[in-house]
Amino acid sequence: MKPSLQLRVSQNLAMTPQLQQAIRLLQLSSVELQMEVQQALESNMMLEPDDDEDNDQPEQQLTEHFGAKAEKKINENDISQDIPEDLPVDIVWEDVYDSGINSSTTFNNNEPVFFENQNLQEKNLRDHLLWQLNVVPISEKDKAIAIAIIDALDDDGYLSCKLEEILDTVGDDIDVELDEVEAVLNLVQTMEPAGIAARDLRECLMLQLNQYPPGTPWLNKAKELVDRHLELMAARDFNQLMRRLKVDQKELQGIITLIQSMNPRPGTQVQNVQTEYITPDVYVKKEKGMWRVELNTDSIPRLKINTNYANMVRRADNSTDNNSLKTHLQEARWFIKSLQSRSETLLRVASCIVERQRAFLEFGDEAMKPLVLHDVAEALGMHESTISRVTTRKYMHTPRGIYELKYFFSSHVTTDQGDACSSTAIRALIKKFINKESHQKPLSDNKIAELLSAQGIQVARRTIAKYREAMAIPPSNERKRLV
């Protein structure tokens, strides 16, 4: 083959670093965005927090009203159209960019802020039991055995291994017998919280019942039920329980109420769970009969170009220092532009969701409309992946509570009239039926399917079971009660 030259024309999709940065900022949560901004401030000399409140743009740029639709449209492919590659840097940099975000930023906040988790000392079950062990007058051998038992407890407070394993653990260092381990276990089981170090549910409940005063009503019958008939109680076989215990329905109800007052997971009473704060990205409220969507400006930082460093840049200077200043300046302007694009895209997507789900805001879950990512993407002229990014780990504050934006998307089921009913509305109806059911005769999944069918919604029994399990609602046999 002889060499030859050929000319070809082709189209390739290239993602510039600026576009990649804009997409990455779009998918960050508010907490991650604060960390990203802080990192940018530390690495780029041209960026600084914008605390000048005189530069605020009109508030209407931050909000959307309904029914009017948003007039401004932004496509992720258009992000790179507004900023030139070579910036004019030999001018006085008075064009400080204002993102229009009226934010009380936390960068220079001199007021003290107190949170529930500040200075929180981690507290766990092991430390709680060891503290009690230190005030008990026992020998060093028994203390070593007790520590081995405490170390073997799981988070619920149950002894997760056999006594022989405890014996093997401490037997390498000291001479100990199995009956000594059993005796120390009995000692640990007298500690607080009641029911700790039990080997199964029956023993856990018995330990708690043993701490009740002897004159407690139904105490002896409750011990008999837990010791001999716990399986019948789990199966809700109340008729068999009344025959075995020789009690009537009212007495059995008192016995079960006493047992249900105990904690089957005593270890969870001691664990400290750190409070997780959710900062909403969007606020939705109704004013004068119209729903208003507004960005939470407190969670979005405001940045500007540092004019002192920007004025040091010279166009004709090709020195290393001047080129570094140019690079930092261009990156700073791109970063600020990406922040603005993130805010505007988030507002547009949230506004579209509110426009589609106004019935939910008015009437609740049962009025939720079917909505998928494609619907919002088509309405806004964006790609589905962009909608997915902007709705992940972003939260909306509504009069009905705080919801992740993903919550408003759900599949649908076609009704007999040809309309569509969302899965969220079906779950709300299932929960409503169960809340109104008779405790003596709970509704089966088949019966719930029939009730939905009577309303024109055709749902299979297995789908009802899937939705019920997703809501942590037990099956009908476990929902049965005496009264």
Q: For 213-224, write each residue's pLDDT tens digit.
A: 888 888 998 998
- What pLDDT does 106 receive? 41
CA–CA gap between residue 360 and residue 291 (Å, rounded): 12
Residue 4 phi/psi, 5-degree rounding, is: -150, 160
Query: What number is the average pLDDT over the span 394-423?
Result: 83
Query: What number is the average pLDDT over the span 46-70?
Result: 59
Nearest to 308 by CA among 42, 92, 98, 108: 92
Query: What number is the average pLDDT over the span 448-459?
Result: 86
Task: Provide, rounded to the nearest whole percent, the portion of the chain with pLDDT above 90.
Answer: 15
- What pLDDT does 376 receive? 92
CA–CA gap between residue 26 and residue 345 (Å, rounded): 8
pLDDT tier for residue 319 given thresholds of 50, 70 and 90: confident
- What pLDDT does 138 receive? 84
CA–CA gap between residue 341 and residue 348 (Å, rounded): 11
Beta-carbon count within 10 A of 21 CB: 19
More confident residue, 99 or 365: 365
Q: Which residues pair with 412 in a beta bridge?
A: 422
Q: What is the pLDDT of residues 129-157, one digit of tens each?
A: 888 888 888 888 888 888 888 888 888 88
Per domain, the residue ranges of the chain are 17-52+59-99+279-402, 125-269, 411-479
More confident residue, 281 or 75: 281
Q: What is the pLDDT of residues 258-297, one digit of tens each?
A: 988 888 888 888 776 667 778 899 999 998 889 999 999 8
- Do residues 191 and 135 touch, judged by C-beta distance below 8 A? no
CA–CA gap between residue 306 and residue 48 (Å, rounded): 6
Nearest to 93 by CA among 310, 349, 273: 310
| Mode of pairing for the β-strands spanning 282-287 and 290-295 | antiparallel
**How high does pLDDT run on average in the chain?**
80
- What pLDDT does 367 receive? 87
Q: What is the pLDDT of residues 177-194, one digit of tens each?
A: 888 888 888 898 888 888
CA–CA gap between residue 342 and residue 301 (Å, rounded): 12
Tokens 């879950």, residue located: 365
pLDDT tier for residue 77 given thresholds of 50, 70 and 90: very low
More confident residue, 77 or 472: 472
CA–CA gap between residue 46 and residue 323 (Å, rounded): 13
- What pLDDT does 344 receive? 92
Lowest mean pLDDT among 165-179, 205-219, 358-372: 165-179
Name the most confidently modeled range: 32-36, 63-67, 80-84.
32-36
- Do residues 480 and 236 touch, judged by C-beta distance below 8 A? yes
CA–CA gap between residue 281 and residue 347 (Å, rounded): 9
pLDDT tier for residue 85 given thresholds of 50, 70 and 90: very low
CA–CA gap between residue 138 and residue 179 (Å, rounded): 16
- Do residues 434 and 473 touch, judged by C-beta distance below 8 A? yes
- Do residues 281 and 398 touch, judged by C-beta distance below 8 A? no
Q: Which residues pair with 421 in a beta bridge?
A: 413
63-66, strands of its sheet edge to edge: 63-66, 290-295, 282-287, 395-398, 401-404
- What pLDDT does 391 receive? 92
Q: Which residues pair with 64 in a beta bridge?
A: 293
pLDDT tier for residue 165 given thresholds of 50, 70 and 90: confident
pTM of the model: 0.66
Report angle CA 463, 464, 465 to the nearest 5 degrees. 90
Task: Mention every residue, 6+ apart, whose C-beta is less than 8 A from residue 251.
Answer: 218, 221, 245
The CATH classification of domain 411-479, taken from the options 3.40.50.150, 1.10.10.60, 1.10.10.10, 1.20.120.420: 1.10.10.60
Tokens 């004159």, residue located: 215
CA–CA gap between residue 45 and residue 77 (Å, rounded): 28
Q: Calculate the CA dihedral of residues 111, 114, 119, 120 and round it to 10 degrees.
A: -170
pLDDT tier for residue 84 given thresholds of 50, 70 and 90: very low
Task: Provide, rounded to the nearest whole percent, the portion of the chain with pLDDT above 70.
Answer: 81
Evaluate if residue 160 carries a pLDDT over 60. Answer: yes
pLDDT tier for residue 25 given thresholds of 50, 70 and 90: confident
Lowest mean pLDDT among 57-66, 265-274, 457-466: 57-66
Query: What number is the average pLDDT over the span 408-418?
Result: 74
Amino acid found at 85: E
